[in-house]
Amino acid sequence: MTTQSIITPTLNAPPHEFDAIIIGAGFSGLYQLHKLRDELGLNVRVLEKGAGIGGTWFWNRYPGARCDSESYYYCYSFNKEIEQAWSWSERYPEHTEIRKYLNFVSDRLDLKRDIQLDTEVKSAAFNEASTMWKVETVGGETFLTRFLITAVGCLSAANVPKFEGLENFKGDWYHTGNWPPEGVDFAGKRVGQIGTGSTGIQLAPVLAGRSQHLTIFQRTANYSIPARNRSVTPEEVDLTRKNYDDVWRRARSGTNGHPFTMSSLSAIAVTDAERRAIYQKAWERGGLRFRASFKDILADNKANETASDFIREKIAEIVKNPELLEKLTPRDHGFATKRPPIDSGYFETFNRDNVSLIDLKAEPIVQVTEKGIRTTKQEYELDIIVFATGFDAFTGPLLRLNLTGSHGYALKEAWAAGPRTYLGLQTPKFPNLFTITGPGSPSVLCNMPIAIEQHVDWITTCIRDMRAQGLTRIEAEPEAAEQWVEQVNAAANATLLPMASSSWYLGANVPGKPRVFMPYAGGFARYTDICNDITKSNYRGFARS
Ligand code: N01
C-alpha cells in the first residue's frame, strides 16, 4: 500500500485560500476532490484527521473488520479504467484490501498531492461579508474557502459509553472504530467485548480464536445472516468486469443501491413451504440480500415476523446450550428494523468452551474496576476490554466540527431537536456548506459508494452551475428543509424501521440524543429522481445569489 503523505501542515503561515475545502479523505472526500479539481478546475484541499487516507477503513481495523456489501459493487463506478484494472480477492473485502483499493484509486488519479493528513478540523465559521468559510485546525492552521464540503461519513464518531471507573482499569481498552494500526495481541488474554451490533458480530469469532477467554457483554440480542465469505475466482472477476454497466444500472435503479432487485412476492401471500424454500435459499446464499427475499419484510409486521421466526429457528439449530440460546434469541425487535449484521460463525462461537455471554438486561454493568467489569451480579476479571459499542451516528461527526453558519448560528443549536436538512445536502443558515451523505439522505440505508457518488455528482453539478451563472452563495431555504424533514419522517413511517427501540438509525444508542429517524428511507432511486428534478428546476428550495 502507498502511504506517502504529500502535504504536511504549515503552522503560523497566513491563511491558505481555496475554492473548496473537503473534510475527510474516505470514499466521499477522494471522489469529491477528483470531481472539483479535475473536472471543474477548482483549487481544492482535503483536510484529513488520520495519518492515512481511507476514512472508515482507516480507523476500523479491528480483527475481522470487513465490508458487508459485496466487493464487486462496494467500489467506485465513475471510472471505467479503474473498474477494469482492479481485482477484488474476496466476496467481502477485508479492511486492508479496501485501504489498498482506495490508495490505488488515489494514486491513479494523483489525488494525494491535495490531501493534507494529520489535520483535524477544530471549527469552521461562515463570514457573511466575504461569503467565505474560515476553517481552523487543531494544529493551529487557518484556511479560507468559498465552499466547505464535509466528507466525514455517518459512522465516524466513536461511542464509548461513560462507564464509571474506566480510567481505573489496569488493563488495556480499545474502541473498534479507533483501532491501533499496529494491532493488538490477544494471545493468553482474558478479553471482554461489549456490544453485539455488526461490528461485535464480526469481531467475536476472531477474538474467541485469538484469546484465552472471551466474555461477551450483550445488551440486545441480534439477528444475523451468514456472510458466506470466500475467495473470488478469476472467472467471476472477468464476468463482473464485462457486466459492470448492468451492475451499476441495477444498483442505481433499486431501493438500496445494491445490484439486486427486491422480490415482488409478499411473504404472507405464499405457502409456508414456498416461503421456507425462499428463505432457505437466501440463507445458503448469505449476505444482506436476505432482506430482499420478500417485498414486505420491512413494510408489514406479519411478513417481518416470518423472517424473524426463520432466523430464530436457525439460531436454535446452531447454539447447543439452551440457556445461551435463550439469551441469544432476539425478540424485542423484528429482523432488519435495526441494521442487520452478517457473520462468519458468530452463533457457533457460543459453542466454544472459552466463550461466555453476559446478558446485560439481567445484570447491567455497574462500573469498570481496576480488574475488569462489575455488573449487578459479579465482577468479571479482564486483561483487555473491547468496546464494539458503535457510533454517534450521522450528527456526531458533523457536530464535532463546531460549525457556525450565518450570523454566528451554531449547528448544535440548529440541530438541538435532531438534524434538519434539505435533502441531507444542506442546512438552512449554513450557506455554501455541503454535507455528503448527511442526515436526511439515503446514506447508510444504501450501498455507501453508490450513495456517495450520487451526492458528489449533485454537489459538483450545483457548484458548476453556480459558477456558470456567476453566483457565489447557496443556502437551503427553511421551508424547503421543513418539508423535507416531513418527507423523511413519512418515508420512515411507511416502513417498520422506526420500530426498533435500540436502533442507531434513531440515535437510540447514545444517551441523551434526540430520537429522530435520520436517514431517508424512501429508496435510493426515488431520492435520486427528487435531486435531479431539483437541479432541473434551477435549484428549487435553495436561495442562490
Ligand atoms: O454499532 P451498533 P456497530 N452498554 O450501534 C451495544 C456499520 N458497520 O459498530 O443494541 C452495553 O450497531 C449496543 O447495544 P444495543 C453498520 O452499518 C458496517 O456494531 O444498543 N452495550 C449494540 O449491541 C452497522 O450497523 C460494517 O442495546 C452497549 C452495540 O453496542 C454500523 O456500522 C461493519 C452500550 C453497538 O452496535 C454500526 O455497527 C461493521 C452500553 N452502554 C459495522 N452502548 C461494514 O461491513 C452500545 N452498546 C460496512
Report yes or no: 40 and 466 within 8 Å, Cβ to Cβ.
no
Closest CA to 340 of 308, 366, 384, 362: 308
pLDDT at residue 11 above 90?
Answer: no
pLDDT at residue 545 above 50?
Answer: yes
Q: Of ligand 1's atoms, which has the minimum distance to the CA of residue 56?
A: 48
Report yes or no: 125 and 111 within 8 Å, Cβ to Cβ.
no
- Rounded to 10 degrees, the C-alpha dihedral 73/78/82/83 comes to 40
pLDDT at residue 392 above 90?
Answer: yes
Q: Of ligand 1's atoms, which has the minimum distance to the CA of residue 200?
A: 19
Q: So what's the pLDDT on residue 293? A: 98
Out of 1-5, 117-121, 230-234, 302-306, least confident range: 1-5
Residue 278, CB-side half-sphere exposure with 13 Å CA sphere: 24
Q: How far is the CA of 199 from the centre of ligand 1 (A)?
A: 6
Q: So what's the pLDDT on residue 221? A: 98
Residue 247 Cβ contacting ligand 1 at under 6 Å: no
Task: Among 174, 219, 375, name the best residue to mutate to test ligand 1's pocket (greatest count of ligand atoms within 8 A of Cβ).
Answer: 219
Whole-prediction pTM value?
A: 0.96
Residue 400, C-alpha cell as written in the block = 464535532
Within 10 angstroms of residue 397's Cβ, the number of other Cβ atoms is: 22
d(CA 285, CA 228): 7
pLDDT at residue 5 above 70?
Answer: no
DSSP letters along 385-410, please? EEE---B--THHHHHTT-EE-GGG-B
Q: So what's the pLDDT on residue 6? A: 61
Residue 153 Cβ contacting ligand 1 at under 6 Å: no
pLDDT at residue 3 above 80?
Answer: no
Residue 509 Cβ contacting ligand 1 at under 6 Å: yes
Q: So what's the pLDDT on residue 431? A: 98
Residue 102, CB-side half-sphere exposure with 13 Å CA sphere: 24
Confidence of residue 2 (pLDDT cuts 50, 70, 90): very low
Q: How far is the CA of 113 from the centre of ligand 1 (A)?
A: 35
Q: So what's the pLDDT on residue 282? A: 98
Percentage of the chain lying above the pLDDT 70 cut: 97
Bridge partners of residue 191, in order along the sequence: 214, 384
| CB neighbour burial string for 416-450, b if at least 16 within 10 angstroms, e if fewer | eebbbbbbbbbbbbbbbbbbbbbbbbbbbbbbbbb
d(CA 166, CA 161): 10
Q: Whose CA is nearest to atom 16 of ligand 1?
A: 198
* Mean pLDDT in residue range 438-453: 98
* Mean pLDDT in residue range 193-210: 98
Q: Whose CA is nearest to atom 36 of ligand 1?
A: 197
pLDDT tens sequence across 351-368: 999 999 999 999 999 999
Q: Of ligand 1's atoms, which has the minimum distance to the CA of residue 220?
A: 27
pLDDT at residue 470 above 70?
Answer: yes
Report yes or no: 227 and 343 within 8 Å, Cβ to Cβ.
yes
User: Which residue, chain included where needed, has cell 480507523?
Assistant: 59
